[in-house]
Chain A
Amino acid sequence: MAAQALAVAASHDGYSAIAFPFFGAERRGAPVLAFTRFGQERLRVRTQVYEPHYVVVLDESLIDTVDVLAGLRPGGLVVVNTTRSPDRLVLSKKAKSATVDATSIALEYTKQAAVNTAMLGAFAKASGLITIEGVEAGIMEVFGRRLSKEIADRNVAAARAAYEATRLGEADSGRVYPKASKWLPTAQELPPGLATPTLETPFGRVGVGSSTSNRTGGWRVEKPILDDAKCTNCLLCWFYCPDSSIVRGPKIVEIHYDYCKGCGVCAAVCVPKAIHMEREVEEEVRA
């Protein structure tokens, strides 16, 4: 939706603009790709963007696994949601950077960790291509129409706050990524009918059991914390956890964080209030 709102913002500011998402089997919080093109002339190429002038990263933890600068054009700019200053980012190469703590801003203004609208404000500031009024128009159009004016207003406030808070600098190089990150067999190598047994590839496991290597805990914004002393081992949390992230122990339960999405169901059902949710800070290793 943010890519769409950006296209509306660009249109508001007089550009011709187009945007589309690349969907996988996503849920809120899961990594997605979305593309926006805007310019003075009519836009015709209707493909994914492989060589962007700007990259906007909504979740800093993605930097651990994805070279977000892979296609960035020379002189391009990366905008990252992080508590770090722009000069403290370490990426695959040196690049102009801008940072903002969009998660805190989103939580403050929208009471949710949906950071996309705040990041639009950050993009407007960092790029200088789009006015904050354009961003406002984009959010009102895209979010206001689908959700409500009240929700759109709160998102506009978040975008404006992020616009003010965005800092510019230069990211450092030094982060190294594997050359290829995806198993891409030839037509001849492909298991017939895609009936895939457990295969260990240079890019990780595929087939049976492969989902365990996808540590989906990175989608989390808040994490559940267990107070051992209060746990009665009633197992309600174990029963309700949709991701099998609660493990039974001899006396009390244990929380495993590799796949925990931080949904908070365990905390909600805990009768003795032994589990509470806490905002996770970026310094912790996620994903």
Chain B
Amino acid sequence: MIEARTATAGERHMVTGDYAAAWGAMVSRPQVIAAYPITPQTMIIEHLAEFLAAGKLDAEMMRVESEHSAMSAVVAAEATGVRTYTATSSQGLALMHEPLFISPPMHLPIVMSVVNRTVASPLGIWVEHNDTMPQRDTGWMQVYVEDAQEALDMVLQAYRVAENPSVELPMMIGMDAFLVSHTIESVDLISQEAADKFLPPFKPVHAYLDPERPLVVGAAAPPEYIQEVRWETDLRMRRAAEFLEETDREFGRTFGRTYGGAFETYRLEDADAALMTLGTVTSTAREVVDRLRGQGERVGLIKLRSFRPFPADRLQDATAHLKAFGVYDRAVSYGVGGPSYIEARNALYDTTTMPILGFLAGLGGRDVTPQDVELMFKKTLGAVGRGRRASGVHWIGTRGVSP
């Protein structure tokens, strides 16, 4: 995150990531919220209920019997032409999987915070990205954040991107369980007034409920129509990357902080080797970059924010000068490697022959320490000059398994 240089638009408070996400949702003025509680997302919904009870939030808050119902409810609400919000985690997102597919082709720009938590089995409540990553092909945009401030700011940005008439896709915002959700830190709680300046009221273009203009929405379609719908949805996902960048710059002009759009770079310009991280490991990796730079190693960092749309073109440019590239993932696609490692290899296939290494660590919520990150850098540096044959997947900190 780039530190604020201009005046903050709200007040600074020590709050958790869940509180920050709830605040971001509140000042975005959603008209319908439907959600089902699940650790570690629960506090988001509790805080929204508090805001509602205190009269700070004017929304219909639906109590539903499951996450499947929560997603179905916000899909239906969004189709009437109102702004909606929901939040979930882990098994809850897995249960939402089926209705997740509904909104992208229907142009319904729902925003959802997902507190990333491991999906059973084994059962756990700690961070892993194996809840959101498997939702890759549902048509939802996916952005991962690093801290509580970004969890808040991204809700506002998400609505701007999602509701852009050229995009109209839903977005999920991944925030690491406990490391963001339950971590208390200083956050600029953006005022309603400032939020309103950045995020105008939602003006639905295609789908809304108006008796004067009846519409068929969510209808069944035979093969004559569906393939075109798929193409058009794909097109909007491709376009979204541009608006993610534009929205972030606009956010910076309003609030004095930007996040780099689809990804942020850190000391990358003259680096020989770089690591791409996502989520909270990024913060630790920044510290490790500084430490290794201090020892004379030319290393840099890419903080991947947007997994969908995947910023392939920008990544090609940003990594063109590198001699080796490592990609960190907190989820595994069994038998292949980390999901963003797969994406990075695919994106860079045409433009580079440097080795690209995949790193898996912190699964099930295991701590990823500076030593772990340093090992990732050392392995990436060690692959310099060895070509594509030096690529491969490394399990960092796995007992009985050589990294």
A44, B283: Cα distance in complex, Å:
5
Judge whether B232 is part of the interface by a CB distance below 8 angstroms.
no
A-B contact pairs, 12 of them (CB 8 A): A4-B14, A7-B184, A11-B14, A17-B14, A18-B185, A20-B179, A45-B283, A47-B367, A141-B13, A186-B400, A187-B401, A193-B121
Please name the 7 residue pairs, one residue from A and one from B, whose CB atoms are nearest each other, closest first. A186-B400, A20-B183, A187-B400, A4-B184, A8-B14, A186-B399, A46-B283
**Contacts between chains A and B (CB distance < 8 A), count:** 74
Contact check, B178 vs A23: say whether CB atoms are below 8 A apart: yes
Judge whether A180 is part of the interface by a CB distance below 8 angstroms.
no
Residue of A nearest to B13 (CB): A141
Contact check, A187 vs B178: say whether CB atoms are below 8 A apart: no
Judge whether A131 is part of the interface by a CB distance below 8 angstroms.
no
Contact check, A11 vs B186: say whether CB atoms are below 8 A apart: yes
A residues less than 8 Å from B183 (CB atoms)? 18-20, 46
Contact check, A187 vs B398: say whether CB atoms are below 8 A apart: yes
Restricting to A1-54, which residues have a CB under 8 Å from any CB of B?
3-4, 7-8, 11, 16-23, 42, 44-48, 50
Contact check, A18 vs B184: say whether CB atoms are below 8 A apart: yes
Judge whether B287 is part of the interface by a CB distance below 8 angstroms.
yes
B residues less than 8 Å from A47 (CB atoms)? 284, 367-370
For A, the interface residue count at a CB cutoff of 8 angstroms equals 30
Given that A44-B283, A47-B284 are known contacts, is A20 also in contact with B184, CB under 8 Å in the complex? Answer: yes
Restricting to B127-167, which residues have a CB under 8 Å from any CB of A?
147
Besides A23-B125, A46-B283, 6 new A-B residue pairs in contact (Cβ under 8 A), listed by A number: A4-B16, A23-B182, A46-B179, A47-B284, A141-B13, A141-B14
Interface string of B166-204 (1 = CB under 8 A from A): 000000000000110011111000000000000000000
Judge whether B286 is part of the interface by a CB distance below 8 angstroms.
yes
Interface string of B366-396 (1 = CB under 8 A from A): 0111100000000000000000000000000
B residues less than 8 Å from A21 (CB atoms)? 178, 182
Judge whether A229 is part of the interface by a CB distance below 8 angstroms.
no
Contact check, B286 vs A44: say whether CB atoms are below 8 A apart: yes
Closest chain B CB from A45 CB (angstroms): 5
Contact check, B283 vs A19: say whether CB atoms are below 8 A apart: no
Contact check, B284 vs A44: say whether CB atoms are below 8 A apart: yes
Residue of B nearest to A18 (CB): B185
